[in-house]
Structure 1
Amino acid sequence: MPTNVNAHITGTVWKIEVKPGDSVSEGQVCVILESMKMEMPVEAPVSGNVESIACAEGQAVNEGDVLLTIA
């Protein structure tokens, strides 16, 4: 069952560390968000493969927005 990885803060997508098809481990940093000049890593909640990326670098996101999906 696919797992959505959500933004835990409102901010801007500063860097995407993974791409579709990549294998990720639980706790691995997938996306870095920037908010108020602070970088906040978003980690994979589960191990698996990146199924899709739902954001782009430079995009503004709100808390709870889906950033990527791990299957």
Structure 2
Amino acid sequence: MKQVAANMAGTVINVLVQPGDEINEGQDVLVLESMKMEVPVQAQASGKVVEVKANIGDFVNDGDIIVVLE
């Protein structure tokens, strides 16, 4: 299984993928807000989304797994 990790700590303000979606490396998967800045999180690998572990309003830390790919 491949995974997408948060690249910084922040609050999830938008989830751009859902289970079943095919995504490409470099594609935005969600948007975090930190210190009033919106920062997209990009997939580090291509694959099919199996699970999205973060929801809008969740706080994630740098390195937290937010999307699981197959």
Q: TM-score range by the shorter chain?
A: over 0.9
Return the alpha-carbon distance in structure 2 between the equivalents of residues 6 and 22 of structure 1. Answer: 17
Q: Which residue is equivalent to 1:62?
A: 61
Residue matched to 1:39: 38
In the alignment, the residues of structure 1 paired with residue 33 and residue 50 of structure 2 have an alpha-carbon distance, to the nearest angstrom, of 23
CA distance in 2, matches of 1:14, 1:6: 16
Match of 1:49 in 2: 48
- Quote how far apart the aligned CAs of 1:52 are: 0.4
In the alignment, structure 2 segments of 5+ residues that lack a partner are: none
**Distance (Å, rounded) in 2 between the aligned partners of 1:31 and 1:3:** 16
CA distance in 2 between counterparts of 1:52 and 1:64 reads 17
Structure 1 runs of 4+ with >6 Å offset: none
**Length-normalised TM-score, structure 1:** 0.93
Cα distance per residue 1:11-49 (max 9 Å; x no partner): 101100000000001111001111001011111111110
TM-score by length of 2: 0.94
Q: Counterparts of 1:67 and 1:42 in 2: how far apart (Å)? A: 9
Offset, 1:3 = 1.1
AA in 2 matched with 1:52: E
Aligned-partner residue type, residue 31 of structure 1 = L
